[in-house]
Structure formats: structure tokens, C-alpha cells
Amino acid sequence: MASKHLATIGILSIGDMGAGIARLLHAHNYKVITNVTGRSASTQSRASAASITLLPTDEDLVAQADYILSIVPPRDAIATATRIASAFKPQERQAAEPLYFLDLNAISPATARTIGALFKDHDDTKLRYVDGGIIGGPPKPPPASASSDANGTTPWTRPSIVLSGPHPLSAAPTSGSHLFSLLNARDVGPDIGSASGLKCCFASLTKGFTALAIQSYSTAARLGVLDELRGHLAGFAPKLKEQGEKGVVGMAPKAYRWVDEMREIGRTFREDGGWAEEWGDGIYDSIAGTYRFVADGTVLGEETIEKRKRGTLEDVVEALKEGLEETDKL
């Protein structure tokens, strides 16, 4: 690790959130690295634009990193952790301090515990697992017009990163306290699964509500009463109207990621919350189906964060209607 950097952070992978966190870290004197082997040209371009150093292998990543942040679709969380655990060779590391693996994916506590077990074969003085979750959108730099604080800096907009487990990030030897603060992290307990569970409970209310809004607005449109629905929401529940419309308009490029996230939420409520089948188990499996339809059954699934085609509720609802009409013909 170069002496001018506070620490070297590996990020897997470089989506919208990963790139945002990379920019935040780079702006505050951290070196950011990633393995882009097999990734698309757009991903590699996004990584380069975020000042990320591109490496050819996982072995290179674990040899150089002080921390690795896993920010992948939920379906890839176990495979990504397995790759890192397999690639880790303490004798090849450039730093004497332990490597911290922060799993920040939208997974259930049970999945987090499964991943934690992958690291038990390693000496925890060399490789440490931290359970985590991200609540909120990607970091954004302050606008040019923002005023500076007493230290001459301006604050970034940051999500909350919740962490749990027996190895607190704030106590990590390589700039751990500074990194903990920079990431706007919160330690929610010593048990693996607590942070992932909190993330799932939060997302159930936000992304779960968006799925309800998708079905409500599209059904109202097919009935010819969309304007009436919006008018009544404006009169009787304006905050719900604002939240629902914002969620529906913004969800399309992320719908494919949310399919498995909803399933992980369902697993959380079933296995850790105690909600058996007769009391509502399966709700979030059904919501996963809503997002799977958006991703696979409509033209909305072709959109990406960089190339959004539909920026209004009417546009999104029309695409949903078209997809539903095609389904009716089957």
C-alpha cells in the first residue's frame, strides 16, 4: 500500500453504488482497487471514471487490499465471498494487518451466517468477516455551491452502512476509525446477521411499497382511472403519492437486483421473524415476482442506470401496461 493512502479498499462490484462509494473513498485519500476480469466494457469504463485501479485476479485483490467491500446482486453474494475466501493466501499479502471482508449485500441473516462460515477456516487474525448492509442511495459529492465546515470541507450525501459481528470496523488497525466515520457506518451489534436483518426490514417497507405501487398504478391505468387515483392520493395521502411515484419511476434499472433481495427478505421474516406460511409467509416471494416481471416481461428491463428512457410515471405505467397486455395474449 502506498504511504500516501490511508488504506487500500477493494470493491466488488462497480455498479452505481460501488462506483459512488469508490468516488467517496478516493476523494478522502483511499486507494480503491477492483478485479474486472470478465466484466463488461461499460463496467470497466465506470471503474476507470471512479479512479479505481483495475487488477486482473482475485489473488491480486486480496494481496493488496486492507478491506474488501462486497456490493453485488444478492444472488452473487455467496459466490463472491467464496471466491475471496479461496483466493486468500496470508503469506502473499503485502500488509501484516488482517484483511477485512465487509459483505454489504441485501441478504438474509441466514445467508450472512452461511457466508460467515466460509471464513471460519481462516485464522481471524488474518482474515475477518463483517456482516453489513447499505440503507439509502449512492454517495454524492457536495454541490459546488455548498458551504464548507470549520475544517474547510463540504459534506457528501451518504447512505447509512450498518455493520455487525465480532470484529468492529471502527477497531480495525488500518485507518478503521476514519473509514467507519467516512462510510457513515453504524455498529448494530456483535452477532453476524443483525446488520443484514436490519437492511431487510428496512427494504421490506421501501421496495415492498414500490412493488405495491407498481401494481396499483398499472391496474388503475388499465381501468382508465389512473388520474383519479393520483388525484385522490394527492388529496388524502400526499406523502404516499410522492413516495409511490418516485419509487415506480426509479425502480426499473434495479428491478433485476431486487428479485432475489425480496426473496431474502421473505427468508428473513420466515426464519428469523417467525412468520409461518399460514401467517403470511410468501408475501415477499410474490413481490419478487413483480420485480421479475418488470425485469423480464417489459421493455423496462432493458434500461440501465446510465441509459434510462422513461422519466415520468406515465411512461413507466405505459410500459407496464404493454407488458401485461402481452402476457394476456399468452
Q: What is the CA radius of gyration of the chain?
A: 21
Would you say residue 1 has pLDDT above 80?
A: no
Give 276's contacts (C-beta < 8 A, 6+ positions apart): 270
- pLDDT of 151 reads 54
Q: What is the CATH number of the domain that holds 221?
A: 1.10.1040
- pLDDT of 146 reads 67
Give 139's contacts (C-beta < 8 A, 6+ positions apart): 20, 21, 23, 24, 156, 157, 158, 159
- pLDDT of 124 reads 85
- pLDDT of 305 reads 63
Average pLDDT of the residues in 94-122: 94
Range of the domain at 224: 197-329
- Measure the CA–CA gap between 30 and 43, rounded to whole angstroms: 20
Strand order across the 67-70 sheet:
53-55, 31-35, 8-12, 67-70, 99-103, 127-135, 160-164, 185-187
The answer on 205 and 227 residing in a single domain is: yes
Classified as helix, coil or strand, 208 is helix
**pLDDT digit string, tens, across residues 44-55:** 788 888 889 999
| Structure-block grid coordinates of residue 275 | 412468520
The answer on 115 and 207 residing in a single domain is: no
Q: What is the CATH number of the domain that holds 48?
A: 3.40.50.720
The answer on 119 and 96 residing in a single domain is: yes
Residue with cell 459466490: 79
Would you say residue 3 has pLDDT above 70?
A: no
The answer on 226 and 127 residing in a single domain is: no
Do the beta carbons of residue 131 and residue 114 sit within 8 Å? no
Mean pLDDT (the chain) is 92
Would you say residue 150 has pLDDT above 60?
A: no
- How many structural domains comprise the chain? 2
